[in-house]
């Protein structure tokens, strides 16, 4: 699997919209293709904030949005297309993003997660738990977590 920059194409826009199918609507309403086109333009002109499409071969699987500021990153969203959910792709995508961020010098990445595979990484101790709460936009439970690079044993 790879993480790639989105293209200003109908296919990429439609794919990202598909990733949000079945997601809880926020107070901002559903995601439309026009929203996604605006996001793509913003990522081309704003330093630090990025959206990437996770793809296996020629098949897009998921979408992740994050922002990097020097040595700190915040992962805003990770969405898997409806046809690929429940197959462990969220874990694979977050691992790829983690590698990409630490290779780019990030020493801490923070995120908020709905119940699911990423929140499970907090529960099983892979990521540090910062807090629990209710999502401001959705009213659903969230876990706020933090990931730091793994330090090899010196033994």
pLDDT digits (tens, 9 = 90+) for 87-100: 889 888 888 888 88
What's the pLDDT at 1?
92
Predicted structure pTM score: 0.76
Cα distances from 55 to residues 5, 19, 74, 92, 115, in angstroms, run 10, 13, 21, 11, 24
Report the side by side order of strands in the sheet with 141-147.
2-4, 49-56, 59-69, 72-80, 108-113, 141-147, 128-134
**Is 152 inside a domain boundary?**
no
62: confidence class by pLDDT, cuts 50, 70, 90 = very high
**Is 153 inside a domain boundary?**
no
**Is 81 inside a domain boundary?**
yes
Structural domain range at position 86: 2-147
Beta bridge partners of 51: 65
CA distance 5 to 95: 17
What's the pLDDT at 60?
96
Q: What is the CATH number of the domain that holds 94?
A: 3.40.630.30
**Is 124 inside a domain boundary?**
yes
CA distance 36 to 73: 21
Mean pLDDT of 124-131: 75
**Is 38 inside a domain boundary?**
yes
**Is 111 inside a domain boundary?**
yes
Report the number of distinct structural domains present in the chain.
1
CA distance 110 to 73: 6
**Is 121 inside a domain boundary?**
yes
**Is 154 inside a domain boundary?**
no
Q: Is the pLDDT of residue 61 over 90?
A: yes
């Amino acid at each position: 699997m790879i993480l790639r920059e989105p293209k200003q194409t109908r296919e990429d826009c439609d794919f990202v919209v598909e990733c949000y199918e079945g997601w809880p609507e926020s107070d901002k309403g559903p995601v439309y293709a026009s929203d996604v086109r605006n996001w793509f333009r913003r990522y081309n002109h704003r330093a630090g904030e990025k959206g990437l499409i996770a793809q296996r071969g020629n098949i897009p699987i998921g979408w992740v949005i994050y922002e990097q500021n020097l040595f700190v990153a915040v992962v805003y969203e990770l969405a898997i297309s409806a046809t690929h959910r429940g197959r462990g792709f969220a874990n694979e995508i977050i691992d790829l993003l983690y590698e990409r961020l630490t290779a780019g010098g990030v020493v801490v990445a923070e995120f908020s997660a709905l119940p699911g595979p990423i929140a499970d990484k907090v529960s099983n101790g892979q990521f540090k738990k910062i807090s629990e709460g209710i999502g401001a936009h959705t009213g659903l439970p969230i876990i706020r977590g933090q990931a730091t690079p793994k330090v090899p044993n010196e033994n």
